[in-house]
Chain A
């Protein structure tokens, strides 16, 4: 057993994209991207379909050529290298296992191409199979496995090569809800154990929030925000991010600043602010509170409908013509359905530029710094 070291050794490398762009003919998928994925980190690339996230991943993997810019993995420029020379491995959305090969051969195929001897291959596959609980299935073909097992084979095939970079292309989207949850936990655990730099593409915000050390949010090929899940949730950089993360999404209301006060479109004052002009105000559903003390400054709204989800309820209220969603504990009754009084703590408010949609970070700061 000790003749061949049975552990999986991965030397994680960082990935740097320098002005990477991609276009198909006249269609510009990714205009110009400068991002660094840190060594050993689990980065989730999140965005709606068509935002260029899969293209980005395929460019890192070497399956798509870049139209411009540089990709550096570790200290090597790789944008002109073949996929096998880049030290990346990839897990595909539909697994893309070789249907005619056994699980063993599926996992060992890259080792065979790399010219490893049979005992070496055997040893490496055994370790990976043990790690992923596939030991009993090595002789089976993919068609005889369940979805979750196929998923694990696909992961095994990727990590057996001890890649410096592990790429996941929406790997959980073909699994049912329960399995997706379990696999998510397994993936997080696996990342802790092997420590490869991981880039994970998804459009599922729950996967992003739970798995990521850092989330890169892409919109139309451009970075909207690149930060930790916590920072992205609590200080979204734009309306796009605010609406994309969180379920139900952040409430966005148009407001007008008159220099001292932000007012809703029907004139109700929301918060003190020194800014003038049209803005969008964001507040998370859980941050909207019922005013029971009868403050004069409370916002007047009325209930449209409520959805009971067991653990909590979502109340949809009409506030100055806009629908505001409020999460409340399950079973709690709104004080008065037709004359709902709401308060929004100022420190929980997010202000966005009315035109660009970008966040205005110090809008409610005590210092009266003049913006723009």
Chain B
């Protein structure tokens, strides 16, 4: 391998070039398409040259579509997902690593199991629960026969209903159920000096104080990594927001983009859609540009 470095280099460069074209080509086409008018596109198809209608198309996104509202929805979902995932993961990893929890390893294994059971695999059940949050409780009461008891005492069986479909909460909560963040924090905590907790106790710091004074400041990088990862995954969610939201005002931007394609056979307004796609990508792109370091750290950590 080493003696052939030159030819290997050429081959490697070629492969990379092909990869770049493969990735950048469609992006370039997105830009050019977004810069033409609908009429121009109908006559000429997709072209590689730039037109002058980019700002017009972006303006049309604001005036003719729900994408701006939907971007706010996306922001709520992405930030809600990222913040809640960070908090929950931090707390659960804290409990698992620093406290002698009975069955801690079993709990951790169950949390990890959610990684191999992603949302897409438990889609139908998740939808059922989201359509009525109390349905598991109702089912348990029915199966155990407790409802018969309740009927005999109160005259009617217990039956509660609360649908979180088509709400922001409903969009976010099912996304939270994955253990990657807990794993990330756990791995990080295990790299810290193991007597830190004891030292803090000797200094008079209780568990809450230790968490705020010691663990939280030390975990800043891990927080940033997990935040970026969850934000991006929240922003790009498609299937769940598509199913869980029924009105345009509640849909996320990615779903809204797909909805710009008309259902009947007309030629879609590609310039408009591409302008929307550019707009929708700006937020995650900025995120990646600013916090790239943490993104890489998070990916490396989660693969260990």
Contacts and interface: CB of A to CB of B under 8 A. Distances in A.
Interface of A: 58, 61-63, 82-84, 88-90, 92-100, 109-110, 113-114, 157-158, 161
A107 to B, nearest CB: 10
Contacts of B217: 100
Given A98-B214, A100-B217, A100-B218, A89 B202 contact: yes
B203 to A, nearest CB: 4
Contact of B198 (A92, A97, A99, A158): A92
Contacts of B60: none
B11 interface: no
B202 A83 contact: yes
A41 to B, nearest CB: 21
Nearest to A95: B193
Contact of B195 (A83, A93, A99, A114): A93
Given A58-B198, A63-B201, 18 more contacts: A61-B198, A61-B202, A82-B201, A84-B202, A84-B203, A84-B204, A90-B198, A92-B195, A92-B198, A92-B199, A94-B195, A96-B196, A98-B196, A99-B193, A109-B200, A113-B209, A157-B199, A157-B203
A113 B218 contact: no
Given A93-B195, A96-B193, A113-B209, A88 B202 contact: yes
Interface string B195-222: 1101111111100010001100110000
18 contacts: A62-B201, A83-B201, A84-B201, A90-B198, A90-B202, A92-B199, A93-B195, A94-B194, A95-B193, A96-B193, A96-B196, A99-B193, A100-B217, A109-B203, A110-B203, A113-B205, A113-B209, A161-B203
Contact of A109 (B194, B195, B205): B205
A62 to B, nearest CB: 8
Contacts of A161: 203
Contacts of B196: 96, 98
Contacts, number: 62
A271 to B, nearest CB: 50
Interface residues of B, number: 18
Nearest to B199: A96
A58 B197 CA distance: 13
Contacts of A62: 201
A114 B201 CA distance: 12
Interface of B: 192-196, 198-205, 209, 213-214, 217-218
Interface centre among A63, A82, A98, A110 (most CB of B within 10 A): A98
A82 B204 CA distance: 8
Contacts of B209: 113
Q: 7 tightest CB-CB pairs across the interface, nearest first? A: A84-B204, A96-B195, A110-B203, A96-B199, A92-B195, A113-B204, A100-B217
A64 to B, nearest CB: 10
Contacts of B218: 99-100
Contacts of A90: 198-199, 202
Contact of A110 (B193, B195, B204): B204
Given A98-B214, A99-B218, A100-B217, A113 B203 contact: yes
A114 B193 contact: no
Contacts of B195: 92-94, 96
Nearest to A92: B195
Nearest to B205: A113
A30 B193 CA distance: 27
A88 B90 CA distance: 31
A82 B206 CA distance: 9
B202 A114 contact: no
Contacts of B205: 109, 113
A141 B105 CA distance: 34
A96 B214 CA distance: 11
A93 B209 CA distance: 23
Nearest to B196: A96
B202 A63 contact: yes
Nearest to B219: A100
Contacts of A158: 202
Contacts of A114: 204
Nearest to A154: B199
A100 B215 CA distance: 10
A243 to B, nearest CB: 31
A110 B194 CA distance: 19
A90 B201 CA distance: 10
A97 to B, nearest CB: 8
A53 to B, nearest CB: 16
B177 to A, nearest CB: 31
A333 B46 CA distance: 99
Nearest to A86: B202
A197 B202 CA distance: 17
A92 B213 CA distance: 19
A205 to B, nearest CB: 24
Contacts of B198: 58, 61, 63, 90, 92, 96
A113 B212 CA distance: 13
B13 to A, nearest CB: 40
Contacts of B202: 61, 63, 83-84, 88-90, 110, 158
